[in-house]
Structure 1
């Protein structure tokens, strides 16, 4: 018996681990591993290395100064001809075209001329086929893609690139789009989180203060939006906010406006629809925290002479900050990845970074760029989590 008692804590730990292990393995196989594999494409670049292995090795050995030696040019020409015949040249052409527009035409023109009998044993031979071989741009693009690691996608997601001298430079102003989209995404997510805090705090306080027989029906109303998809709720707001929609007709009927307001296909419509969709995600965690605060704390503060406002600010509010932080982080995190709502009720200047990720994933098939854009979204999320944990730790017990 004593020995069995001594082993029981260890057995309980193993039993707990055995119960959790299937769920952990399921999450690892179906979520964590695929996400990590996708994000790794932001820094791993093996397209050229896989199709042109000899060229990749030669490119890594070259110092990158000026034009390459003729031996490297001969290797590249040989593998261009071989992969054109094998039908795999398209993979390298697409990758180089991400770095230097026009690379695809250079490779296919060169491949056709080599197949027709042109000589390609030196840089000058290739330059006779296409003068761009005599410029450092195409060679620098190949060096940037020689793998296995790359900075290209992360720099491009920040509107930066490597020039022919391997220096980080800004892209032309007309091509710099992602920085503005990121700023817009963070701004919309922050405003939506603040709106949820302002609107959700009084609702959670009311639910936590009322008796259960009155609070439960109101809580059902808070949970009711979860029974409808976000797409349906967003489409409903598109109907309500349109020029001849219910909102404009009601405002005109009571005489508040003379002409319909532009409530949709702009930033205001995005704020309204996203706040409505995400508001329950703030109310519920805050409500759980408020229910755990004993009502005697406020009464004790009042009995010591504190006014209701001072008692609320000094006693009640600090205890609710963990719930406020948790709810705001959840709303901010979910808002960062919103795609459907801005697409339906926002204008062209209101699209968020998720639209760009969807484009590179589904249409352009540039998964490295999609992974880089996704990876850069993790930074503000980690900052938000760290700030929330710091706020919780500084709350007095």
Structure 2
């Protein structure tokens, strides 16, 4: 176990001032939430913005609204390699998961497989995921989905603040969501955002959200304690401490469809005060760090061709699982924050087997065994980046020599 400076794999750090803003928002109550929602509507130029207790709660509400609008369709098409929260939300909404294999060169759908998966008349919607902040080809998905009357949900949980060809991520699909959880593009301890248009789906979401309970004082106290812990313990000088405590489960990926469905509390809305300016600062740092890694010879899983997207993590596909294990072990010894991500493809989540529609996804399963993420958040220093790049160059050299 390392005792000393250790980088978290991902972080959107909170400040003491932001925590004080959160406490002040508790006295404003729902007005603080309404202010944040109004700012989101204005920034993204959408009729509806809703704040939920988590990103997976946001997705579950979206799917429930779509199910009401399109009865008879009970499958949700998702990338076969994605965050476990996505299939958990599908199950929470009472629907079946249809995984579609991915292209390892893009981490997006394998388009030939996608066309097959859309057929059959049971697919309610397809989820376009900007995994790690890497932009999905939402336009191509919408064109394919439209041929089968399938809606497109834009999963921008890891991509808040990003843009694609001048358009804001979150405005590209029929309906979209962001996550405000730890390690995302913007952090308010917990939370999720839905952006929706003025059609029947937007109205259905509004009706569902109106029935949900608001987070109470107990939730606020828990969020306050968590926020204070994040202010202190996410710093590299102290992150070794929570990382060394196994009961905290840092880095673990859990499939849990039993999550709460609530409206976001005022404390988290207060933490987001000044969110637009903060997003710009965070994005600038992440872009600078990702650009350095690319120029230093660390090959991203998705070819960037000099145009680096807003990555919350820098994904790399290594040669094989053994090489990945070595890199993670050496990183842990040096506190460099290189980490495995989701341990299995969606097709291999044990708890999900009864809710799956469709077969294997061999390419996604290979990606799950080979992918690692590198930290690019604002707490990473130039010296950290140089050491990370040196680690990968050394491993690549050893691999060639074997």
Specify which structure has the higher proportion of strand.
2
Specify which structure has the higher proportion of helix.
1
Instruction: Give TM-score scaled by structure 2 length.
Output: 0.21
Flag the structure with larger Rg: 1
